[in-house]
Structure 1
């Protein structure tokens, strides 16, 4: 796996969306869509080219996740448009499919080595730590619990919750965008990435 878009964008997407690593690594170019005027990641098992190389952890994993404003500022949509114009199917074609087709395996191994080389490795830290951080950031931003669970594709527990969740069609993109826009990390300075990006 050569250094290019994936190594730049995958950690940032994880940080600002809470998406699982494999959900990000398996994204098709067509999974970045404008829905009701909002740029979103469409997390789905369906392939834009008819292949069977995508999978989701649970049925609640299928969802839409708006692109966070910080990702917009850094230039993610420009990157996505370049990938679309390239004619390639995968958003990150520099990540090889590993065992059982999971693209996350190769990236996870690289990321673990990267943490060590960057002096950032600590006990119990790995790529999945972004998901835990996102959940805490949602709590600290006082994002409605149901919306936070929807954004993260987390399962609600209990038969009453499951029954209630079967009603309606879910949150509109602008509601999810308003919520995810509240996600922030105190002390995180990404100014060096602005007006650049990993395109």
Structure 2
């Protein structure tokens, strides 16, 4: 066969030629990082044979000593180009084949399985997780439970790790991974790629079989829209239901009362809001307040932003005082929230889902929809692009000017600058035809009974 199709590149960039001969999987370095040179070598060393011993022996003993030669038999065709390097590589390949042929001819037994092949997929996964679990978040470990269970189910726990090649992985991937949204495909493929890299580093296998599905930008966008989790923004009817004064009066939990309002005017994710610390709510100018997010999905999520007047006018600072008074050791705004597998909002997500269903909101409109709604409002009202990104905690898109990079990253927008540009653009009446229903002022001590009960529960 033509061995150009069997080129393999190591993680160091070196190309290897791989082929199977009499049951053995043979790999030899081509000692180059140039793909064109590697391809040329692969064709020149193209082998599809059982080689006649006499010709091989002559070549290896250099009885055929010209550097430029052509060799053709019913079983072998090879040609050198006259260079010292090409001749040397040809001799090296012939020596290896000659050695393998004689070894197999003298022993009528199955080739001994190498130590690399003794490691099963299940053993490697267990060892990998034992080593890595302590260095990743609980939520990642939870996702790995599913990811590796799928890998074991598809490729068989008892499979030797060294026997899992790109073709086998690609065949399984088509059924188990390719049907997902592209962003989910990337996540899973990265998990498996890191796992096999770990196996290579520990010499349990020679190659990383993970082959990603290559999609054009347009196809990727279409599949993401088709298969991804749909999240719709809230419309005026949804917002009127959520912030109806009667509905809010009946809310029993502080998080259900405050987090939707905070999300509507900050665009923050649920976990970001749940992790806000009381001491990170500070006055930056007389009568003007800001909040600092220390936990986020990305680096850009770690930000300090001014608090919108609607939040202050709703009595938010009175609530903060209630928490300090009733829960002296409280660190966060909602101190009764306990992490479940690393997530403070595990129970809140269930509560908000029930709250949303009781209001009759459509599937696809969840807590994250507040973020989508605010961003849509800012875009429609033409907020300054970079300040908008700083406010909602979005990563920068595209390539920045070199001066922007040195200036902007070191000098973030101040709370005053953000408030001046962003607050006038958070105009839901213009973007959504929504006006916040008049609310009864927050009564200090409203959630005291809930705090007392939570403290008793511990």
TM-score norm. by structure 2 comes to 0.38
Shift of the alpha carbon at 1:134? 0.7
Deviation sequence 1:16-62 (CA, Å, 0-9, x none): 11011100011111121112443011011xxxxxxxxxx42111111
Q: Would the aligned equivalents of 1:41 and 1:64 in 2 still touch at CA under 8 Å?
A: yes
Q: 1:99 to 1:71 in 2, by over 3 A?
A: same
Structural mapping, 1:79-118, within 5 Å: 79-86=319-326, 87=328, 88-100=330-342, 102-118=343-359
Q: Which has the higher contact order (CA 8 A, sep 6+)?
A: 1
Question: Which of 72, 76, 79 matches 2:316?
Answer: 76
Q: Would the aligned equivalents of 1:98 and 1:105 in 2 still touch at CA under 8 Å?
A: yes
RMSD: 2.2
Give the length in aligned residue pairs: 186
Deviation sequence 1:116-162 (CA, Å, 0-9, x none): 0111x213111000001010111122210101000010001224269
Do structure 1's residue 43 and structure 2's residue 285 form an aligned pair?
no
Q: Secondary structure at the match of 2:400?
A: helix
Q: 1:163 to 1:127 in 2, by over 3 A?
A: farther
Structural mapping, 1:147-186, within 5 Å: 147-160=387-400, 164-167=404-407, 168-182=410-424, 183-186=426-429
Q: Would the aligned equivalents of 1:156 and 1:162 in 2 still touch at CA under 8 Å?
A: no
Q: Would the aligned equivalents of 1:68 and 1:180 in 2 still touch at CA under 8 Å?
A: no
TM-score norm. by structure 1 comes to 0.83
Q: Would the aligned equivalents of 2:387 and 2:422 in 1 still touch at CA under 8 Å?
A: no
Q: Would the aligned equivalents of 2:267 and 2:374 in 1 still touch at CA under 8 Å?
A: yes
In structure 2, what is the Cα distance between the partners aligned to 1:8 and 1:24?
Answer: 13
Q: Would the aligned equivalents of 1:65 and 1:176 in 2 still touch at CA under 8 Å?
A: yes
Listed as ranges, the gaps of 5+ residues in structure 1 are 45-54
Listed as ranges, the gaps of 5+ residues in structure 2 are 1-250, 448-458
Q: Would the aligned equivalents of 1:12 and 1:71 in 2 still touch at CA under 8 Å?
A: yes
Shift of the alpha carbon at 1:73? 1.2
In structure 2, what is the Cα distance between the partners aligned to 1:159 and 1:95?
Answer: 40
In structure 1, what is the Cα distance between the partners aligned to 2:318 and 2:285?
Answer: 19
